[in-house]
Amino acid sequence: MSGSSRLLDAQGLTKGVAPEFLVSPSMLDHVSPSGDRGGMVLGQGAQGEPLMISALRPAPTRIVLVGGLYLALQVALRAMAIGAWVVVATGRPAKWQALAKAAGTGPDGRPVPLVQIRRLSPVELPRPTEDGPLLVVHDGGPTPQELFPPRTPWQTTIYVLPYLHPQAGATANAADLVLMQRLPAGQAQLAARIWRLPPPMINQLTSLQDDQVVALGTNLWRPVRLVTTQREQQILGPVRRGD
């Protein structure tokens, strides 16, 4: 991992690549595409302070999500809200239809191309720019292949891992940021071997609530409580750990 502590910003922390902005959780219901390119509110810290991740930035970026599909859907939905193109490569396209539906339709009644749901096979991607960053979601099981590695600025590839697998260590270690939901004891022990975690962190991973994640990176270990807006609940349902 490299520079991961710069991917998470909060009040009192050094600013990352994307400018910091602060809002109260109650204001999240009114969030629309923000003026802070690439920054999205993930949730809140232990003191209720908003926490933001620089998920879309002027550098190729890898993010690994370990846990249920809900977290991946929420991150993709928020990336779309701040102006990103979203390409989802998945073996379970029905699970992602809520995201495509949320993108809406054009004047001709067809789905807008802001969200593309594709099979797990190589495909030509839109060219990312600062005004049109690209989020690629690779939802291909616990041992993903490198079908869409991030190679250009303003492209972020998210790898959705339903659980930790010993063969996923290379993918996990190459990530700039890892977001983990609660893990069973055996999975937490595997996480400890991959990232050399001490016992207190292992215990924390096994005791997270359904609406909590741990943000992990270089010099970064931060529990985060997810905050779901009213609109997101209408699209995705309440915060949960599973799919």
Q: DSSP labels for the chain? A: --SGGGGEEETTSPP-SSPP----GGGGGG--S-SSTTEEEEEE-TTS-EEEEE-S-SS-EEEEEES-HHHHHHHHHHHHHTT-EEEEEES-GGGGHHHHHHH-B-TTSSBPTTEEEE-SS--PPPPP-SSS-EEEEEE--SS---SS---STTEEEEEEESS--GGGHHHHHT-SEEEE----HHHHHHHHHHHT--HHHHHHHHT--TTEEEEEETTEEEEEEE---HHHHHHH-S--S--
Give me the pLDDT at residue 30, please. 33
Backbone phi and psi for residue 73, each to the nearest 5 degrees, phi listed first: -60, -40
Give me the pLDDT at residue 18, please. 35
In total, the chain counts a number of residues equal to 243
Average pLDDT (58-79) is 93
Tens digits of per-residue pLDDT, 115-129? 999 999 888 898 999
Is 96 a domain residue?
Answer: yes
Is 86 a domain residue?
Answer: yes
pLDDT at 34 over 70: no
Q: Which residues contact 47 (CB under 8 A, 6 or more apart)?
A: none
Is 242 a domain residue?
Answer: no
Give me the pLDDT at residue 188, please. 96
Give me the pLDDT at residue 110, please. 73
Give me the pLDDT at residue 16, please. 35
Give me the pLDDT at residue 13, please. 38
The confidence band for 95, taking pLDDT boundaries of 50, 70 and 90, is: very high
Which domain covers residue 91, as residue numbers? Answer: 4-236
Average pLDDT (78-106) is 89
Is 208 a domain residue?
Answer: yes
pLDDT at 43 over 70: yes
Contact 229, 17 (CB under 8 A): no
Greater confidence, 16 or 95?
95
Q: Any idea what the CATH number is for the domain that residue 209 is in?
A: 3.40.50.300
pTM of the model: 0.84
pLDDT at 5 over 60: no
Is 137 a domain residue?
Answer: yes
Is 41 a domain residue?
Answer: yes
Average pLDDT (17-36) is 37
Average pLDDT (221-231) is 90
Is 151 a domain residue?
Answer: yes
Is 243 a domain residue?
Answer: no
Number of folded domains that form the chain: 1
